[in-house]
Amino acid sequence: MLQELKEAYGFIFEDELIEEINRVGKLQVVGAGEKIIEIGDYVKMMPLLVEGAIKIMREDKDGDELLLYFLERGDTCAMTLSCCLGQTKSEIRAIAERDTKLIMIPIEKMEEWTSKYKSWRDFVFESYHARLSEMLDTIDTIAFMNMDQRLMKYLQDKAKINQSEVIAVTHQQIAYDLHTSRVVISRLLKKLELDERIKLQRNSIEVLEL
Amino acid sequence: MLQELKEAYGFIFEDELIEEINRVGKLQVVGAGEKIIEIGDYVKMMPLLVEGAIKIMREDKDGDELLLYFLERGDTCAMTLSCCLGQTKSEIRAIAERDTKLIMIPIEKMEEWTSKYKSWRDFVFESYHARLSEMLDTIDTIAFMNMDQRLMKYLQDKAKINQSEVIAVTHQQIAYDLHTSRVVISRLLKKLELDERIKLQRNSIEVLEL
DNA sequence: GTTTTACAGTAACAAGGGTTACACAGGTTT
DNA sequence: AAACCTGTGTAACCCTTGTTACTGTAAAAC
C-alpha cells in the first residue's frame, strides 16, 4: 500500500503524513460498476483514490439521475469530505467507473491532520477548489450546451477516464448518465457516426475525436 | 463596524478573532445592482457579508448568463475563497442584490487564521460545504425542473432574499438570470398570474405563494 | 436449433421552449 | 400635446428534445 500511496500522493504530502496515512488508512478494492457510496449514507470514512476512477452521480426524489463528474487518482471526494465534517448524509452516489483502489481514512484524523499538517490543509482546500470547478463545468454543460454537444463531451470524458478510445457502454446507460431517453441518444449517436466523429458497435463506441 | 461584525459572526468566532477581523478588515459598502467581482478578476481580498445580499452569476464565453445562487449575512463567497487560495482568476460574477456591507480580509490572513483558529477553519469548511450544497441545488433545478417551476422558485428565492413579497424586476432581467428569453418569461408569468400564484405590475411582481 | 432477451435503428408525433414580429400601454422627454 | 423609450402581451412559427411504437439483430439461454 505504501508504494501506491507514494505514487499517488508522494509529491503532495510530506513523508511523515504519508506514513501516518499508511498506518491508519484501510485499503479498499472495488470492482468496476460497484457502488461505493449511496445517497443518504452517513459517511464515516474519507476516501483517497490511489488507483482507478469513480463516477459521481446526482439523483432527485423522482429517481432522475445525472452524472456530475469523474474522479481520478490523487482525487478525493469533496462531497464526502463535506459530509464527514458536517456529519450529514451523502447527497450523491459514487460508483467505480473501473477497478479502483481506495484508502479510507477515519474522520477523526481529519481534524487532527488539518491543524497538524499544512500539506493536508492545502490538499483539502485544493480538493474543494477542484470540485467547485467541476461543478461549475457541469453547470455550464447542462445550462449552455445542446444534447449533441453534451453527448460528444461525455464520450470524450469517458474515453479519457478509461484511458481507451473504445468505450464499453450501451445507449441506455448513456441516457441515464445524461438524464435523457435512449431514443434521443441513439438518434444523436447515429448523427455523430455519419459525421465520422465516432464509430458504433454493439455495446461499445469508438471515439475518433479526442 | 465591530457591532455589525458581532451581530453577523459573533456566535461563530471567538472574541479574539472578531477583534482581529475588526482590526485588519476593511468595511466596504456597495449599492444595490453594483458589481463586486467580475469574471477574470484576480481576487486579493476575501469578503465577509455583514449586511445585505449578493447574487452570484455564471457567464460563458458567448456571454450566456445564469444565476447560481444568493448569499446572505453570515455567508462568504467560497468561490472567492477558492480563488484566493489558488491564486486563480474568478470564475463567477458577484453583484449586490440590495445595499450591502462587506468586510474585506487580506488573503495573507487566511493562512494565518486557518492554523491559528479552529473556529475559522470550521467556518471555511462550513462555507465550502454550504456552497457545494447550493451548487447541487442549482444543478437539480436546471437539470430536473421545467422553466415554469424554475421561474416560480426564482421568484420565491428572490422574494425571500429581499425580504419582501413584492419584487422589483423586469421580465428581461428574469430572462437573463434564468438564461432564457423575455418572451418565454412573459408567457409563463401570465400563466402563473392566471393560476393566482403571482400578481403582475409594471416593473414589479407580487409573489402570493411563499 | 429455437426461443428469449437485450440492444439498436427509425418513424411519427407531441411538447417545451426559443425566435421574430408587431401592437400597445405607461412614463419621460421635448 | 407630441414624440419617444421601455416594458409587456400575444401570435405564429421553428427547432430540439421527449414519447410511443414497431422492426431487426446479435448474443445468450434453453
Contact assignment for A143 to B64 by CB distance below 8 Å: yes
- Please give the C-alpha separations between residue A154 and each of A113, B61, B154, in angstroms, as whole numbers: 36, 20, 29
Residue A90, SS3 per DSSP: coil
Copy the grid coordinates of residue A35. 457502488
* The pLDDT of residue B201: 96
DSSP-derived letter for residue B29 is E
Residue A113, SS3 per DSSP: helix
Distance (Å, rounded) from C-alpha A126 to C-alpha A107? Answer: 18
Q: Which helix (H) or strand (E) holds B8?
A: helix B2-9
> CA-nearest residue of chain B to A178?
B143
In the stretch 23-52 of chain B, residues with CB closer than 8 A to chain A read none
* The pLDDT of residue A1: 80
* The pLDDT of residue A82: 80
A91 interaction partners in chain B (CB closer than 8 Å): 133, 136
pLDDT over 70 percentage in chain B: 100
Distance from CA of B47 to the nearest CA of A (A): 17
Instruction: Give yes or no for residue B140 having a pLDDT over 90.
Output: yes
Contact between A207 and A155 (Cβ < 8 Å) = yes
Nucleotide closest to residue B179 (CA–C1'): C18
Contact assignment for A144 to B79 by CB distance below 8 Å: no
Using alpha carbons, select from A197, A110, A92, A104 the residue that is nearest to residue A154.
A197
- ipTM given for this complex: 0.93
* The pLDDT of residue A44: 86
- Please give the C-alpha separations between residue A116 and each of A112, B111, B124, in angstroms, as whole numbers: 6, 13, 17
Copy the grid coordinates of residue B190. 401570465
Distance (Å, rounded) from C-alpha B200 to C-alpha B192? Answer: 9
Contact assignment for B132 to A78 by CB distance below 8 Å: yes
* The pLDDT of residue A155: 98
* The pLDDT of residue B180: 98
- Cell numbers 475518433: residue: A208
What are the backbone dihedrals phi and psi of residue B25, each rounded to the nearest 5 degrees, phi first? -75, 150
The reply to whether A114 touches chain B by the CB within 8 Å rule is yes
Contact assignment for A143 to B142 by CB distance below 8 Å: yes
Identity (one letter) of the amino acid at B112?
A: E
Distance (Å, rounded) from C-alpha A171 to C-alpha A155? Answer: 11
Contact between B81 and B128 (Cβ < 8 Å) = yes
Distance (Å, rounded) from C-alpha B68 to C-alpha B111? Answer: 28
The total of other beta-carbon atoms located within 10 Å of residue B66's CB is 20
Contact between B99 and B32 (Cβ < 8 Å) = yes
The reply to whether B142 touches chain A by the CB within 8 Å rule is yes
Tell me the per-residue pLDDT of B155-198, one tens digit each, with 9 for 90 and over: 999 999 999 999 999 999 999 999 999 999 999 999 999 999 99
Q: Which helix (H) or strand (E) holds B194?
A: helix B182-194
| Footprint on protein of nucleic strand D, Cβ below 7 A | A 146-148, 179-181, 183-184, 188, 202; B 170-172, 182-183, 186-187, 189-190, 200, 202-203
Contact assignment for A179 to B144 by CB distance below 8 Å: yes
* The pLDDT of residue A177: 98
Strand C: which bases are under 7 Å from protein Cβ? 6-12, 16-21, 26-27
Tell me the per-residue pLDDT of B47-105, one tens digit each, with 9 for 90 and over: 999 999 999 999 998 889 999 999 999 998 888 888 777 778 999 999 999 999 999 99
Domains present along chain B, CATH in parentheses: 2-143 (2.60.120.10), 147-207 (1.10.10.10)
| Footprint on protein of nucleic strand C, Cβ below 7 A | A 170-172, 182-183, 186-187, 189-190, 200, 202-203; B 146-148, 180-181, 183-184, 188, 202
Identity (one letter) of the amino acid at B24?
A: V
Tens-binned pLDDT, residue by residue, of chain A (210 aa): 888 899 999 999 999 999 999 999 999 999 999 999 999 998 889 999 999 999 999 999 888 999 999 999 999 888 888 877 777 899 999 999 999 999 999 989 988 998 899 999 889 988 988 999 999 999 999 999 999 999 999 999 999 999 999 999 999 999 999 999 999 999 999 999 999 999 999 999 999 998
User: Which residue of B58, B86, B121 is in closest CB contact with A129?
Assistant: B86
Contact assignment for B85 to A140 by CB distance below 8 Å: no
Q: How far is the CA of A68 from the C1' of C4 (A)?
A: 36
Tell me the per-residue pLDDT of B14-48, one tens digit each, with 9 for 90 and over: 999 999 999 999 999 999 999 999 999 988 899 99
- Burial status of residue B164 (CB atoms within 10 A of its CB: 0-12, 13-18, 19 or more): middle
Q: How far is the CA of B163 from the C1' of C27 (A)?
A: 27
Contact between B158 and B167 (Cβ < 8 Å) = yes
What are the backbone dihedrals phi and psi of residue B88, each rounded to the nearest 5 degrees, phi first? -110, 170
Q: How far is the CA of B147 from the C1' of D12 (A)?
A: 21
Q: How far is the CA of B181 from the C1' of D14 (A)?
A: 15
B126 interaction partners in chain A (CB closer than 8 Å): 85-86
Distance (Å, rounded) from C-alpha B57 to C-alpha B91? Answer: 9
Q: Which strands, in side-by-side order, build the sheet including B93-96?
A: B35-37, B93-96, B54-59, B65-71
* The pLDDT of residue A80: 83
> CA-nearest residue of chain A to B143?
A142
* The pLDDT of residue B88: 84
Helices (H), B35-117: 78-86, 107-116
* The pLDDT of residue A31: 94
